[in-house]
Amino acid sequence: MSKLFIVDDDLLTSELLASAAEIVFTEIAVFNDAREFLEQSLSADDIILLDLQMPTLDGVETIRKLSQKNCQATLILMSGYDAGVLRSAEELAKDHGLTVAANLSKPIGIKKLTDLLSGLLSKQDLNQSQNPTEIPSPSITDETNAPFTPTADDLTRAIDEKQLLLYYQPQVDLTTNALSGVEALVRWQHPEHGMIYPDSFIPLAEQSGVIVRLTSAVIDMAVNQSALWQAQGKHIKISVNISAQNITSLLMPEQLKSLVKLNQLDPAMLMLEMTESALMGEITTSLDILTRLRLKGFQLSIDDFGTGFSSLSQLHRIPFTELKVDQSFVMDMVNDPQSCAIVETCIMLGHKLNMAVVAEGIEDAQTLKRLKQLNCDIGQGYHFAKPLSPENLIKWQANREGV
């Protein structure tokens, strides 16, 4: 059973919040001193409404202490300061590994608060009742709940034994509503531990160097899939993710060109996505490789744009054809004017540099509507579809076309 903790030094505010929350929570505990609150034991289902300005121990110190206690509960931050302070505190809490559901400026609307709390509770119920198949889980546990920490050898074996497979997430042309392409996202179908998501093994692959073989396996699978679709008369552009170490081999453009030629594919049907951090290494070599890839007809996309620091200079130097606005801005854009301003600026920037702009992480119709108003070219996100197996992708497409 979830419990609500209200931590606010202001007696009146905390009582008001408690009485508003009573329609959602049966168990509520109010603390006017954060030090007393920190003595409580917390469970992962609990929700904490935390005021940032408190005389004895402020919100930021409380956040640090909660993280030291390895707190798994969900935080909602509150402050009478401007939105910038709340946002920084939220970032800080996330950096400390805490879960933050929202930040609220004071005075807090009662309806907004109760909607938020009931939303959080129903999400928890949903998570408990369904067995999610497509929600990435950072910690991997099998049916017996035994943790599985893969090693580089496990990963190499997985590649050799063909345990890696690709799911394809649709990308939709926001002007015509047609399928504009798919992003290939790798999964590891482990014989004992089930489906493992990339966030749990790509960092290991990158640290150990296994990423070079992994990307090659991914590209092989994507090219084979593309050839299969082509044989069925379906021309679907595929984007694959590549890492820093993949853009260090000067032979890569030629190898890739031979591969697509062998499969009689048009290189323009293959988009290579990379993040800004992938470009931080030996820039002259990567510039050489990326320019030759473009010259050979491949497309280049800059992924998670807006999260790195080198954005503008990289964009100017590297011949990208597509810019993908990071999903964190897209997800917040309807409720947060600053995220919306970032998305709008990215769209304008991409267009000025002759790039197609993709918004990823579209989860609802309202976000989609706003993106269309901002002239975003392509959309990707759970609102359209989650990453799908090749069979389900074709079914999804047929359903949309009403075939």
By the rule CB under 6 A, 382 interacts with ligand C2E: yes
For 120, the token pair is 């959080």
Cβ proximity of 62 and 50 under 8 Å: yes
In the bound state with ligand C2E, the residue whose beta carbon lies nearer, of 29 and 159, is 159
Binding mask 284-323 toward Mg ion (x if CB under 5 A, else -) reads -------------------xx-------------------
* Footprint (CB under 6 A) of ligand C2E, residues 86-115: none
Ranges of H-type helices in 34-162: 34-37, 59-68, 83-95, 110-129, 152-160
* 182, interface contact from ligand C2E, Mg ion, none, CB < 5-8 Å by kind: none
Q: Does position 276 bind Mg ion by CB under 5 A?
A: no
Mark the segment that binds ligand C2E (CB under 6 A) among 55-63, 172-180, 197-205, 254-262. Answer: 197-205
Among 102, 210, 218, 272, binds ligand C2E (CB under 6 A): 218
**Residue 243 in the binding site for ligand C2E (CB under 6 A):** yes
Helix or strand holding residue 77 (H, E): strand 74-79
197 binds ligand C2E (CB under 6 A): yes
**Binding positions for ligand C2E, 123-182, rule CB under 6 A:** 136, 169
| Residue 8 binding Mg ion, by CB under 5 A | no
Q: Which residue in 343, 357, 361, 360 sits closest to 306, CA to CA?
A: 343
Exactly one of 46, 276, 304, 377 binds ligand C2E (CB under 6 A); which one?
304
CA distance 238 to 240: 7
Does residue 116 sit in helix, strand or coil?
helix
Contact by Cβ (8 Å): 131, 38: no
Q: How far from the centroid of its chain's Cα atoms is residue 388's Cα?
A: 16
Q: Which of 61, 173, 288, 363 binds ligand C2E (CB under 6 A)?
A: 363
- Burial class of residue 15 (count of CB atoms within 10 Å of its CB; 0-12, 13-18, 19+): middle
> CA 305, 306, 311: angle at the middle one, nearest 5?
80
**Among candidate residues 286, 211, 293, the one with its CA nearest the CA of residue 253:** 293
Binding mask 310-349 for ligand C2E (x = CB under 6 A): -----------------x----------------------
Residue ranges in contact with ligand C2E by CB under 6 A: 136, 169, 185-186, 197-199, 202, 215, 218, 241-243, 303-304, 327, 360-363, 380-382, 387
Residue ranges in contact with Mg ion by CB under 5 A: 241, 273, 303-304
